[in-house]
A and B are shown apart, each in its own frame.
Chain A
Amino acid sequence: MFLIKKIISSFLTLFLVSLISFTVLKVIPGDPLLSKLGTEATEQQIETLNKELGLDKPKYLAYVDWISDVSKGDMGESIRFSVPVNNLIKKRMGVTMNLALLSMGITILIGFPLGLFSAMINKKRGSDIISTINMIGVSIPSFWSGLILMMIFGVYFKVSFKGVSLFLPALTLALSRISITSIYLKNIILEELNKDYVKAAVAKGRNKNNVIVTDVLKNIMLPMITIISGLFVKILAGSVIIESLFNLPGLGNLMVLAVENRDFPVVQALVLYSSIIVISVNLFTDLLYCYVDPRIKIS
């Protein structure tokens, strides 16, 4: 019952999202045809294309048409590029997913051990330094660190190995999330340390760090999953700037292009898909929690 309720509310949210994006976009000054054709178009071109693309219909009609198309899976055609939106998205999805996965891999590979380590040495000598480094890491804007990395690896040391075109952006994106991820993990572990079983184990004489590694980690699988799902969403969002900075042909870059070109069909499709991803990820996390710990259903 709870499951069904959750799914329905997700759909409702999705519907709202599409409505909001549609409304906002239709308010935007500037029309997509003008963006495509520029200052040299003839009136006849604008007229015939307007009709062809159905841009002269009243807004509510257009919205209804769009919804009915979408439910069939037809996201329409990009006004700027004259190709089906789904094709555009399909071609670019790989790049963004690869970027996201690589970034997540790097973030987790570095961030988790870092978080674990800082939890272990909490309140001891080195922990201040790590906290400070993390704090600074969280504060550096990604487009700045990306620039610096580009200069270091692109110009000063001319690095070239397989996949370098994806590695640099992934590293930049990862750098912006590593600090916060390690902070989250550290906090979770520290909270867990307050629990009874840990206190009992330590009282019995076991080494605290040993307890962390063998018992605590097992028990925080769920919060870790929350961290990972949150990480995924934040990295997808970060891809907008990173893809623009590194000129990667991914979905983030497509979004910026589409907004600049007033390419409604593309923007709406991207907004819808990204919302679906975010909502699904949240739903999945919620469900996982319920599955593991039935007590949570009540809240």
Chain B
Amino acid sequence: MKKKIVTLFISLFLLGACGSEKVSKENMVPSNKIVVRITQDPDFLDPHKAVAAATGEILFNVFEGLIKIDSNGDLYPALAESYKVSEDHLTYTFKIRKGVKFKNGVELTPALVKKSYERFLDDAFPANRIANEFKKISKSIEVNGDEVIFELKNANATGIAAFMVGIVYEENNKIYGTGPYYIDSYLPGEKVIVKKFNDYWNISEVGNIDAVEFKIIKDDQSAIMAFQMGEVNIIHRLFAGYEDMIGKNSKLIKGEQNLVQLLAINNNAEPLNNLKVRQAIQYAIDKKEIIEGASLGEASIVGSASSPIVKSIYNKDTENLYLYNIEKAKELLKEAGYPNGFELTLKAPSNYQVHVDSSQIIKEQLAKIGITVNIQEIEWGTWLSEVYKNRNYELTVIGFEGKPSPYTTFSRYMSKDKRNMINFSNNSYDQILRKISTENSDDKRIELFKEAQEILTKNVASVFLQAPNYIVAINKNIDGFKIYPCYVLDLSLLNLKK
């Protein structure tokens, strides 16, 4: 009897062990495959719908636009061979490159370019912001021989960058791109696998990586362990705290990131609607301490809503408008009528360690001027609906990604913009943004952006804290990784040394 029992349980044991063997066999590695860690699932594997910057990083390798961006942030014609812009900036003519194939073998034609644009211009299509903004200004699209001609309703704030939208070919509810890699499979919650497209029109410029697995690992700790064990080859957006853990076979690449973290202030909530109160808060914040404590020094101070990485428009003067000054802070608070301070609630999104940590430091800093901050850590889903959508909060800490077009970054703070979670309302600001959207001269536009930053900071729309650095942990045998000044992970540059 006992023997039977033992046999039963040993077989249970083996069953489990065998089952796991099957799992590992599925992961047999073909030549030149690397694993890149990402933190969450892509939202839509469709460049016209995709919202998250992280999704865009993957899609950059699969779908291409008429214009592409390079590692210096410069724009160059990709699917377009060349282009002309009319004097009044209302007509863009693109000569379409020949010999470009979509993944399913169909050849790219001007007609298909037009079709791809018309796909998201349809009202019933859930188009993302970039596509939507194009929709607002598009008047007509015509095909003429090997050219596609876009007529715009008014001048375009983003300039040629608007044409970075990916070109897709749709058939039977599947979409195909022209990029150097294609999406091979997607296992929700686990991974996205892309493989090299061997008929890519510019194949000679692509490195030797045949397949890339984007492994979804939410938790930083597990990601580091996977990296140490060789299961992951690249971790980008590594948290500074893990730098010493990457091991001898790997190197770190650092750069700036187009991401701004802010202490978001609800401008409609009492007593935060009082400018003096907001100014007092700004004076009491020591950004350096936050960078040290929450980002371990790996970040740059920001003065306003844009990251310093956007060199062309970044207004460095804004950094000095409110230098750390406890005395001034206390004075202003008194002037505003709160000599004894008051209580505030800070709703921090619990899934972002850097924001949670920053909140705790801010709490201690504001305590010094008599403001008691109660931190409520809430999880992401609740944060999105309570804080972001319903704007039911006083303070929160969040980061906003910068877009290739700075206009999209700044338009958030216009009074009527649906993303204006801080309830900032300033007529001059609205006016300036409106001017930018119709401005043709690049120089004038830059001036206007700098003005906009000044208004945001002077009026303490919120306290803009830091732009955390972009840190990549990568195995030493992978060459070619370049950091882009925007959310791009360019796989075509990579080469695996044997």
Contact = CB atoms under 8 A, between A and B. Distances in A.
Size bin of chain B's contact surface: 35 or more
Interface stretch (A54-62, A132-140, A249-257, A275-283): A249-257
| Closest 7 A/B residue pairs (Cβ) | A102-B16, A105-B13, A98-B19, A166-B20, A81-B188, A30-B381, A163-B20
Contact of B23 (A29, A166, A218, A262): A166
B17 A102 contact: yes
A155 B94 CA distance: 55
A158 B15 contact: no
B225 interface: yes
Contacts of B17: 102, 162-163, 166-167
B386 to A, nearest CB: 6
29 contacts: A29-B386, A31-B385, A34-B381, A34-B389, A37-B43, A37-B51, A38-B43, A39-B388, A39-B398, A40-B129, A45-B49, A45-B127, A81-B189, A82-B44, A83-B188, A88-B188, A95-B23, A98-B16, A98-B23, A100-B16, A102-B15, A102-B17, A112-B5, A154-B225, A162-B20, A163-B17, A244-B219, A247-B219, A262-B381
Contacts of B222: 245-247
A29 B382 contact: yes
B10 interface: yes
A38 to B, nearest CB: 6
Interface in B19-63: 19-24, 41, 43-44, 49, 51-53
Most A CB contacts (10 A, CB to CB) among B10, B22, B226, B381 go to B381
A253 B92 CA distance: 49
Interface in B368-396: 379-382, 384-386, 388-389
A42 B127 contact: yes
B16 A249 contact: no
A33 B107 CA distance: 36
A170 B16 contact: yes
A211 B127 CA distance: 75
B188 A102 contact: no
B405 interface: no
A62 B382 CA distance: 22
A162 B21 contact: yes
Contacts, number: 164
B132 interface: yes
B286 interface: no
B401 interface: yes
A260 interface: yes
Interface in A166-220: 166-167, 170, 213, 217-218
A119 to B, nearest CB: 14
A36 interface: yes
B10 to A, nearest CB: 7
B128 A109 contact: no
B49 A162 contact: no
A20 interface: no
B400 interface: yes
B5 A39 contact: no
A213 B2 contact: yes
B2 A217 contact: yes
Interface string A78-90: 1011110000100
A270 interface: no
B16 to A, nearest CB: 3
Nearest to A259: B381
Contacts of B15: 101-102, 105
A52 B124 CA distance: 10
Contacts of A42: 127-129, 132
Contacts of A261: 381
Nearest to A105: B13
A90 to B, nearest CB: 12
Contacts of B128: 40-42, 45
B189 A253 contact: yes
Contacts of A45: 49, 51, 126-128
Contacts of B229: 154, 158
Interface string B178-216: 000000000111100000000000000000000000000
A114 interface: no
A34 B385 contact: yes
Interface string A89-114: 00110110111111111101100100
Given A88-B188, A218-B1, 5 more contacts: A42-B129, A49-B126, A52-B126, A101-B19, A154-B225
